[in-house]
């Protein structure tokens, strides 16, 4: 048993290691949005006067910046309220354009923003197969090949898992779909800005993005649509964005999204290396101080800022209650509705172990001192509960 060390941090503010749930707006993002709240407040669809033209030009510039960040040449961007809406537009829109029946494939560890639309499509008459990952959280091209049926028309696989951070082999999966003429969608909300992401090079047809995961504003995201993909809209009225997503475009949020993307891509490798080093230090420290601690998901390939752990034998409710005032983290997705992680249970963890798990996600401002404090906090709580 590890000896308890003196507590020196009771008066300090809680540490924040929940950056996969959301991130604060970067100062550069706030600055980029500022003029479009009041000074350039026009509707980008109102091109009969200078205010509208100015807003329209800003939106076009933002599209160009995002296209550059994603290396897009043969795809278009449809702005949405976030990745959840983008997922719904990709899945429901593609399926309903396809017809009234057919087969879709996804993975049991997907975010609810993919799983719930798939359940809706089942209610509408479509068939859905969910692949089960291995204990490392990964699926293989052979698994996908085996699951394909003659009428499979859409496959959806998350780029980077929102709970365990593992990176699926998108290029191999997409290549298999391309051979069969099957559309391939990926929820890249966690991947974009945290790992290199070039949808066209990877062979992706539909890609969902979110701004607030990369120090951008909440309420804005996008769906990347490869040229030739056909979708039915989910909403009608106004005809904006080629009729795929009507409604007045939120110019300030779009400008913030583009600024956040440019900022993330500009120092991507340096940021990845720094956060990966800190994440590895966190894992090594926890292994040393918390006997029996387990890592959930493959160690690699993995997001550089993600560590998901289970401390077997602890009461999950008491674990999170003891940490709440000291460490901001989670037991899974921010959208899990308080239920034990379906991702961890799909990997073979028991319900009790899933509850006794922590998703620790580092931010751009996380320091070595923060890591040392986190190791101390978790080890102290684990010791006291045992």
CA atoms of 370 and 374, how far apart (whole Å): 6
For residues 141 and 169, the answer to whether their CB atoms sit within 8 Å is: yes
Three-class SS state of 307: strand
For residues 57 and 178, the answer to whether their CB atoms sit within 8 Å is: no
For residues 344 and 131, the answer to whether their CB atoms sit within 8 Å is: no
Structure tokens at 311: 């401390």
- Selecting among 25, 177, 329, 335, the annotated active-site residue is 335
- Give the Å distances, CA to CA, from 133 to 48, 136, 297, 345, 351: 54, 7, 10, 11, 17
CA atoms of 223 and 94, how far apart (whole Å): 12
For residues 245 and 338, the answer to whether their CB atoms sit within 8 Å is: no
Q: DSSP string spanning 149-160? A: -TTEEEEE--SB
Whether 25 sits among the annotated catalytic residues: the reply is: no
Structure tokens at 271: 């940021």
CA atoms of 170 and 274, how far apart (whole Å): 25
Closest CA to 313 of 365, 378, 385: 385
Q: List all residues 6 or more positions away from 280 whose beta carbon is below 8 Å from its beta carbon.
A: none
Q: Is 89 left (phi over 0), alpha (psi -120 to 50) or beta?
A: alpha
Structure tokens at 60: 């076009």
For residues 18 and 361, the answer to whether their CB atoms sit within 8 Å is: yes
Q: List all residues 6 or more positions away from 99 whose beta carbon is below 8 Å from its beta carbon.
A: none
Q: Which residues are catalytic?
A: 335
């Amino acid at each position: 048993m590890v000896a308890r060390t003196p507590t020196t941090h009771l008066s300090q503010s809680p540490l924040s290691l929940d950056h996969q749930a959301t991130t604060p707006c970067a100062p550069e993002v706030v600055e980029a949005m500022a003029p479009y709240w009041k000074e350039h407040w026009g509707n980008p669809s109102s091109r009969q006067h200078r205010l509208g033209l100015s807003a329209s030009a800003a939106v076009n510039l933002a599209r160009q910046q995002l296209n550059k960040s994603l290396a897009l040449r043969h795809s278009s961007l449809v702005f949405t309220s976030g990745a959840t809406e983008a997922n719904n537009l990709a899945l429901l829109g593609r399926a309903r354009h396809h017809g009234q029946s057919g087969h879709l494939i996804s993975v049991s560890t997907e975010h609810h923003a993919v799983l719930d639309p798939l359940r809706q499509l089942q209610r509408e008459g479509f068939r859905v197969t969910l692949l089960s990952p291995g204990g490392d959280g990964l699926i293989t091209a052979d698994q996908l090949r085996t699951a394909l049926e003659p009428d499979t028309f859409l496959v959806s696989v998350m780029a980077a898992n929102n709970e365990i951070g593992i990176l699926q082999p998108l290029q191999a999966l997409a290549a298999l779909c391309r051979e069969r003429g099957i559309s391939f969608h990926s929820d890249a909300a966690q991947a974009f800005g945290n790992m290199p992401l070039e949808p066209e090079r990877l062979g992706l047809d539909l890609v969902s993005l979110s701004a607030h995961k990369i120090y951008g504003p909440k309420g804005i995201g996008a769906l990347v649509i490869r040229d030739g993909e056909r979708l039915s809209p989910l909403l009608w009225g106004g005809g904006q964005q080629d009729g795929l997503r009507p409604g007045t475009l939120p110019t300030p949020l779009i400008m913030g999204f583009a600024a956040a993307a440019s900022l993330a891509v500009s120092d991507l490798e340096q940021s990845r290396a720094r956060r990966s080093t800190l994440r590895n230090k966190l894992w090594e420290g926890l292994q040393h101080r918390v006997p029996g601690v387990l890592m959930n998901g493959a160690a690699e390939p993995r997001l550089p800022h993600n560590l998901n752990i289970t401390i077997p034998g602890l009461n999950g409710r008491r674990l999170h209650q003891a940490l709440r005032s000291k460490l901001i983290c989670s037991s899974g997705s921010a959208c899990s509705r308080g239920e034990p992680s379906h991702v961890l249970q799909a990997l073979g963890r028991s319900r009790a172990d899933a509850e006794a798990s922590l998703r620790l996600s580092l931010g751009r401002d996380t320091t070595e001192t923060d890591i040392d404090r986190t190791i101390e906090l978790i080890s102290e709580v684990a010791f006291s509960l045992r």
